Amino acid sequence: MQTSITIEVRPTEIDVMGHVNNAKYLEYMEWSREDWYNKVNLPFDTLTEMNVGTVTVNIDINYRKEALLGEHLTVTTEPVRKGRTSYVLKHVIHNGEGERVADAEVTSVTIDLKARKSVPIPAELGKAFE
């Protein structure tokens, strides 16, 4: 399932170059990832009840075009692939003109919250990749 959120670039997200600071794109993607989990019926509380956490272990990001103050950005998230304990979600950020601003593949691992060790992806999460 592909999901998307729209955000407006705020003054606190701008760096000395006058555009969105590179670290903010990761935050935008994190917000979109949280929205994706909610829409596949696996919000944080549900995962916690299952004693499962998700840990980001790799981010491969490409910055394509600068985003400026006041722009409206759309961040899409979709599942790409899953392994036994890890999975990849793809994020794409477009500006209001439909131009690609950034894209990334984010690899996460599911862990046992008590043991703090990786565990197989729960079936409920695996279904989101079908």
Residues classed as catalytic: 15
Whether residue 102 contacts residue 35, with contact meaning beta carbons closer than 8 Å, is answered with no
What are the residue ranges of helices labelled H in 10-122?
22-39, 44-49
Place of tokens 């691992």: 109
Residues in the chain: 130
Q: How far are the Cα atoms of 43, 53, 60, 70 from residue 92, in angstroms, in the given order?
A: 21, 24, 12, 19
DSSP-assigned beta bridge partners for residue 82: 87
